[in-house]
Chain A
Amino acid sequence: MSFDRFITEAISPWMKTGPSPNGDIVLSTRIRLARNLDRFPFPTSASQESAQTLLQYVRKALSEDEYQSVGALEFLNMSDLSANEKRVLVEKHLISPYLAEKSQNGAVLLSNDESVSIMINEEDHIRLQCLFHGFQLNEGLVLTNGLDDWLEEKVAYAFDEKRGYLTSCPTNVGTGMRASVMMHLPALVMTKQLNRILPAINQLGLAVRGIYGEGSEALGNLFQISNQMTLGKSEEDITEDLRGVVMQVIQQERSARSSLMRSSKMQIEDKVFRSYGVLANSRIIDSKEAAKRLSDVRLGIDLDLIQGVSGNILNELMILTQPGFLQQYAGKDLTMNERDIRRAALIRERLQLETE
């Protein structure tokens, strides 16, 4: 099947190519736009029939053309995918959990390198998302903006002079834009400085949340910072504000790393190599421990303590060891215990590949 590669490879092509500015701390940058078509009811209140009409309409409009370097888009209908295949796409951040689980007549168009994803019949008619390696807000804004112009030539957007782009949820109205940056912040967590920084970030109208794990826990020390407000500020101002805050957090994390290395180098080294040892040798590992150990190893790579292992190991194994992926690899549903065994085996294998 043509969509095979989307669900068998954990690491998207966009993660492997091109520059990755501030890539030691920022893993990826994402910009998404929420757009709706005039006259059609929003997906959350549309009938089956109307949702289907909209899906076919948008699909046809986008199938006749390509946008510059993005190339042809692959169309995947949610109803053609198994529950686990959808889960894998969610784990890769290519579709939202809402599209996978709740949408009716939902579909996605994916670019070859998986950096562009256009969801149809999500909470809004169209959700356009661009993913970038490292910290690249400006590049992300340019590409989404261009794609948005391209889409606008083909379909009539619901737009109002006063409220901007009209969306299903009042939290997205205006620009319809959510810009988010995925950061790895182990030193700020270790030194407990993050708790001091988070409230300040929230006060600036930005949200911080863990990417994996729920509640107050952020697995793998991975955090996402994104804008909350979409109304009353331009796209450029929103990304500029976010950029300023992220730059601050990057600097804080860097200085926390170097002060840790100054004050407790041996302890850090011990932590890093202990985790490396666990990953390289364990036979049963749960997702929580795997995330923690992978974060330590990634820190070790960034601090030049571990050599010869790719920094991508964190992003890749975080995705690869999610339940959907493990089951995809096994070709069947797995119990929690079976997953823990397979996870350990996969990590061992992956580390061996790196060091051979």
Chain B
Amino acid sequence: MLCEECQKRPASIHLTKIVNGQKTQINLCEECAREKGETIPNWSNYSIQDLLSGLLHFEQPTGHESVRSSQTMPRQLVCNNCGLSYDRLINIGRFGCSHCYETFGSKLDPIFKRVHGGNTKHAGKIPKQAGSKFHIKKQIEKAREHLEDLIEREEFEEAAKVRDHIRDLQSRAREGEGRS
């Protein structure tokens, strides 16, 4: 089948338009379809945003857990730093600021999973500045676990030492934050 527009190239795009119940079929080659882009919706301007917002729209609650999370995360949720609403995020497929990631939190997991082959957690580079802070945070977590373990075993003398160590780490973490 030849393109209806140029009558030269083979038609590779077949569009069915339904306007007021009237069905029309258009057969175009890629080049002419691009040129006519403005008159054919979602063709020339179909972008990654459209794809993403499509995916986000797709995230309807299905199981028990997602029903719960959709209740705690109303669609009207708005980022208090940049004012981006969840609805707007869905429409533009773009975050407004870095704080949005916190605002929309775990609601974003499904979208990351789809876009990044099932992954939701960063496994790459850590900036040096943030790195030392995370390092201390990890140490604190570890020491806390150790502390609970010691208390359970009633080794209070050792536990007191660990508790002091945690306090020390906490004040170091605070200093680090003050600096940055």
Q: How many A-B pairs fall under 8 Å by CB?
A: 136
Q: Which residues of B contact A205 (CB under 8 A)?
A: 117
Question: How far, in whole Å, are A167 and B121 apart by their CA atoms in the complex?
Answer: 14
The 8 Å CB contact of A44, one of B92, B98, B127, B130, is B92
Given known A-B contacts A152-B129, A216-B30, A233 and B119 have beta carbons under 8 A apart: yes
Within 8 A of B (CB), among A192-235: 205, 214-217, 229-235
The yes or no answer to A39 lying at the interface (CB within 8 A) is: yes
The 8 Å CB contact of A149, one of B96, B124, B128, B134, is B128
Bits for B89-127, please: 1 = Cβ < 8 Å to A, else 0: 000111111100110000010011001111111111111
Bits for B73-102, please: 1 = Cβ < 8 Å to A, else 0: 000000001101000000011111110011
A169 near B123 with CB under 8 A, answer no
Tell which of A68-76, A107-115, A172-180, A337-345 binds the partner: A172-180
B48 near A45 with CB under 8 A, answer no
The yes or no answer to B34 lying at the interface (CB within 8 A) is: yes
Given known A-B contacts A44-B94, A45-B84, A159-B130, A231 and B34 have beta carbons under 8 A apart: no
Q: Which residues of A contact B92 (CB under 8 A)?
A: 44
Question: How far, in whole Å, are A230 and B115 apart by their CA atoms in the complex?
Answer: 9
The yes or no answer to B11 lying at the interface (CB within 8 A) is: no
The yes or no answer to B166 lying at the interface (CB within 8 A) is: no
Q: How many residues of B contact A (CB 8 A)?
A: 40
B115 near A170 with CB under 8 A, answer yes
The 8 Å CB contact of B125, one of A145, A167, A169, is A145
A229 near B116 with CB under 8 A, answer yes
B48 near A215 with CB under 8 A, answer no
The yes or no answer to B3 lying at the interface (CB within 8 A) is: no
A232 near B117 with CB under 8 A, answer yes
A171 near B52 with CB under 8 A, answer yes
Q: Which residues of B contact A162 (CB under 8 A)?
A: 120-122
The yes or no answer to B171 lying at the interface (CB within 8 A) is: no
Question: How far, in whole Å, are A214 and B12 apart by their CA atoms in the complex?
Answer: 14
The yes or no answer to B25 lying at the interface (CB within 8 A) is: no
The 8 Å CB contact of B95, one of A145, A168, A235, A238, is A168
Question: How far, in whole Å, are A305 and B147 apart by their CA atoms in the complex?
Answer: 75
Q: Which residues of A contact B52 (CB under 8 A)?
A: 169-171
Given known A-B contacts A45-B84, A161-B134, A173 and B112 have beta carbons under 8 A apart: yes
A175 near B96 with CB under 8 A, answer no
25 CB contacts below 8 A, A to B, read A42-B82, A42-B95, A42-B98, A149-B128, A152-B127, A157-B129, A159-B126, A159-B130, A161-B126, A162-B122, A164-B124, A167-B95, A169-B93, A170-B52, A171-B52, A174-B124, A214-B34, A215-B34, A216-B30, A229-B117, A230-B116, A231-B119, A232-B116, A232-B118, A232-B120
Nearest 6 CB-CB pairs, A to B? A232-B119, A164-B122, A158-B98, A231-B116, A175-B124, A45-B96
